[in-house]
Amino acid sequence: MAKTLITTPFPSAAYIAEKLGLPSSRIERLERLIAEIQGESRTARVYTVDKRGAAAAAKPHAAGAAKRRAAGAAKRRFADAARHRAASASKTRWVAKDAAVAAKMK
Amino acid sequence: MATQRSQRRKSPRSDPYSAFINVPYDPQYEPLYLAFIAGLSGFGLLPRAVLQIPGSQRRLDRLFGLIHSCQYSFHDLSRVELDTAKRMPTPRFNMPFEPGLAVAWAQEGDRKHKWYVFEGKQYRVAKSLSDLDGTQIYIHANKPIGVFRQLTNALARTKHRPTVGELQAVYRDLQKAARSIKGDFATLYDTRPFLDLLYVAWKSAKKRVASLHP
């Protein structure tokens, strides 16, 4: 089936204002909302392209989140190392104990 | 016959920008409702709906007046189904009744009036409304992207043709704005939220349709 061809130009701001009859205060509020939304999506695009670094630079709260993530990772690394050290120290103790028992038995 | 002709001449001229949308007004339908608004705005049309006209006029008069004033009408029959009432489950007859009015108007009133029927599932209209056999039914699969694809199948512009991707970008803006608008009015299905959505969609389309920028 053939498509319907729309030949009218894209509606102008004057036409929309006349047809919708929105008060100027409401239009201002909607303009702010649109600016906010389109600003957000711009930031989201930056986030997708440059990953965390660019998003952290663009958004202060993202920078905070990145810092928190880094701190959490460091904490986890430190805890793992401590656990590893404790395990190896206990192993050493047991090895020494076993050697002492073996020496006595000789 | 002469009277009929004079009546036809007297009928108000339809607005070449206005597109009547006949969709269900229920919360589950909101994504498709927003998709129709975003899609039509992307094509440079101004969606219009019954809920836009407050007043004491009889609903049928409002409906007919609105169809007369629009050059296009889009009818979504995807929710023609039995409701969940336990006592007396009833199908929603409003939805197929309205394309009936539009078809009559296109045949007898304004030959320029173009009407389109949308459905969620293939072959369902053939079963539920076989009078439309031979008519192109646009299947959107109950998804916003389906609405955009079908709108681009149905419509074309001489200038500033939007792509499906651009329509999706308008939809995303509208979806975000709808959350805030719903916060103000508690619903999207009322005169004022509808007008707000139209403004946001138009503004977003101006920004998102690439060819509109020099």
pLDDT digits 0-9 by tens, A25-57: 999 999 999 999 988 766 665 554 444 544 555
Q: Looking up tokens 């197929």, which residue turns up?
A: B96
pTM of the model as a whole? 0.75
Q: Is the pLDDT of residue B170 over 90?
A: yes
Contacts of A41 in chain B (CB under 8 A): 172-173
CB neighbour class for B2 (10 Å; exposed up to 12, middle 13-18, buried from 19): exposed
What is the predicted pLDDT for the residue at A56?
Answer: 52
Q: Which residue has the tokens 């656990």?
A: A83
B168 falls within a domain: yes
Has residue B212 been placed in a domain?
A: no
Please report whether residue B213 resides in a domain. no
Structural domains of chain B, count: 1
| Rounded-to-5 percentages of helix, strand, coil across chain B | 55, 15, 30
Provide the pLDDT confidence category of residue B36 given band limits of 50, 70 and 90. very high
- Complex ipTM value: 0.80
In a domain, B211, yes or no: no
- Give the distance from residue A64's alpha carbon to the nearest chain B alpha carbon, in angstroms: 25
B94-104 vs B59-69: helix crossing angle, rounded to 10: 50
B118 within a domain of the structure (yes/no): yes
Q: For the beta carbon of residue B167, count every other beta carbon within 10 angstroms.
A: 27
- Is B171 within a domain? yes
Inter-chain CB pairs, A–B, below 8 Å? 77
Residue B6, domain CATH: 3.40.50
Answer whether residue B210 is part of any domain: no
Write out the residue range of the structural domain in which residue B161 sits. 2-81+89-205
Please report which confidence band the pLDDT of residue B20 belongs to, taking 50, 70 and 90 as the band edges.
very high
**Interfacial residues of B (vs A; Cβ cutoff 8 Å):** 16-17, 43-46, 72, 114, 136, 153-160, 172-173, 176-177, 180, 195-196, 198-200, 202-207, 209, 212
Give the A window 28-47 contacts with B, CB below 8 Å.
30-31, 33-34, 37-38, 40-41
Find the range with the poorest average confidence among A101-105, B120-124, B148-152, B181-185. A101-105
Contact (CB<8Å) A38/B173: yes
Q: What is the pLDDT of residue A50?
A: 47
pLDDT at B9 over 50: no
Asked if the structure places residue B164 within a domain, the reply is yes
Q: The dihedral of CA B57, B58, B59, B62: what is its sign?
A: negative
Q: Letter for the amino acid at A17? A: A
